[in-house]
Amino acid sequence: MSFFGNLFKKIKFITKGIVALNVLLVSATYGVLCSIYFTIIRKRDLAQWSTARFYYYLFSFIMGMKINVDKPELLEKLPAILISNHQSELDIYMLGRIFPQKCVVTAKKQLKYIPFLGWFMSASGTFFLDRSNRESAIHTLNNALNTLKENKGGLFMFPEGTRSYSSNPILLPFKKGAFHLAVQAQIPIIPIVVSNTSNLYSIKLFNFNSGEINIKVLDPIPTEGLTKDDVPKLTEEVYEKMNNVVKELGMSNIYGEHVSLPENEYTEEGEIELNNESNNVPASSSTDGTLVSESTSLLKN
Ligand SMILES: *[C@@H]1O[C@H](CO)[C@@H](O)[C@H](O)[C@H]1NC(C)=O
Ligand SMILES: *[C@@H]1O[C@H](CO)[C@@H](O)[C@H](O)[C@H]1NC(C)=O
């Protein structure tokens, strides 16, 4: 790409980044207010859901994005632990779309102190984990599990632990925490797979484009009758399933630049010429599904 092309790309990235940050701030402010409101009317478990949708619609409208969900009804099969692949900052937007009612997230304790976002998370009942303190983390998670089963709610987690930003077209190895929790509570796991969003947003490639993300919700995986000895195998199975769907979904769809609608959409034969660049499935590579064996299990009793 030319010098000016690159410069333009960076300017666009930064400008859209600033706009996106403001959308987040407005939504977090909405979140604080709505958490207070829902706490007063004793429906605090709706606060994160309401804020999530607010953020989703505002961000979609302003940034020209959209998320298509295959089988959204599966997201309502609670109680369950919901897990998804973790790619970039754009995952907050993904959460905005799929977050079910009566669902909560866990977050690093440090996030509590971020203005607006942290206030919102505290006010709306996020479970903050202190990773440096195992005892207190276990205590927090046990509380989360009890609340979740009582309320028939959901707990959302990213089993990759960290944003992948990966240049390999496979998922990072899964940590086992989410799977231990599911087995301990004997509740299902609902895997959620998100198409590769690096063509829409990537801080490495300075991509910030309008377009559509595709999400597929997989059938809930029961854990009834499983014990903690089954956790490694369960983790591996879910990893394999999700990794296959990652490949199947491929890249997200970009609007604009590459698509020439509506005038040039017909070829001479009168057929719609599809932009097939957006549907490239990332080249497959080894998927031996190797998992970190160094178990992160907070919950080994
Ligand atoms: C997503 O796409 C980027 C760019 O093509 C690629 O480098 C990365 O490996 C892909 N990630 C996954 C998980 O497929
Ligand atoms: C679709 O993909 C094929 C192979 O990758 C390519 O040769 C062809 O030009 C593409 N068609 C369009 C319309 O982009």
H-type alpha helices, 152-257: 177-185, 231-249
CATH code, domain with 244: 3.40.1130
Tell the residue nearest (CA) to atom 14 of ligand 1.
169
Number of helical H runs and strand E runs in the chain: 7, 10
Is 168 part of a structural domain of the chain?
yes
DSSP 32-76: HHHHHHHHHTT-GGGHHHHHHHHHHHHHHHHHTEEEEEESGGGGG
> What integer pLDDT is reported at residue 17 of this predicted model?
93
Other Cβ atoms less than 10 A from the Cβ of 1: the count is 8
Verify whether ligand 1 is closer than 6 Å to residue 167 (CB atom): yes
Mean pLDDT of the 68-85 span: 95
Beta strand 103-108 with 253-254 is: unpaired
Expressed as residue numbers, the domain containing 128 is 3-258
Find the mean pLDDT for residues 28-51.
Answer: 89
Q: Is residue 226 part of a domain?
A: yes
Q: What is the mean pLDDT of residues 112-117?
A: 82
| 14 falls within a domain | yes
Residues 295 and 174: their CA atoms lie apart, in Å, by 10
Question: Does residue 94 have its Cβ closer than 6 Å to ligand 1?
Answer: no
The pLDDT value recorded for residue 266 is 42
The mean pLDDT of 147-168, rounded to a whole number, is: 81
Does residue 19 form part of some domain? Answer: yes
Q: How confident is the model at residue 45 (pLDDT cuts 50, 70, 90)?
A: confident
Average pLDDT over the chain, rounded to an integer: 82
Residue 172: predicted pLDDT: 86
From 130-139, 145-154, 187-196, 288-297, the region with the lowest mean pLDDT: 288-297
Q: Determine, yes or no, domain membership for 274.
A: no
Per the structure, the count of domains in the chain is 1
Q: Write the pLDDT tens digit of every residue in 215-248.
A: 999 999 999 999 989 999 999 999 999 999 999 9
> In this structure, what are the phi and psi dihedrals at residue 70, rounded to the nearest 5 degrees?
-90, 125
Please tell me if the CB atom of residue 196 comes closer than 6 angstroms to any atom of ligand 1. Answer: yes
More reliable by pLDDT, 284 or 111: 111
In the predicted structure, residue 125 carries a pLDDT above the cut 50: yes
- Whether residue 284 is contained in a domain is answered as no
The whole-model pTM stands at 0.77
Weakest mean pLDDT among 1-15, 123-137, 218-232, 252-266: 252-266
What pLDDT shows up at residue 165?
66
**Is 285 a domain residue?**
no
Q: What is the average per-residue pLDDT within 163-176?
A: 77
- Ligand 2 neighbour 276 (Cβ under 6 A): yes
Atom of ligand 1 nearest to the CA of 168: 9
Which of 165, 168, 254 is the pocket-test mutation for ligand 1 (most atoms within 8 Å of CB)?
Answer: 168
Each residue's pLDDT tens digit, 183-215: 999 999 999 999 999 999 999 889 999 999 999
Using the mean position of ligand 1's atoms as its centre, give its distance from the Cα of residue 44 in Å: 37
Measuring from atom 11 of ligand 2, which residue has the nearest CA? 276
Identify the residue whose C-alpha is closest to ligand 2 atom 4.
276
Give the residue among 142, 153, 141 at the shortest CA–CA distance from 82: 153
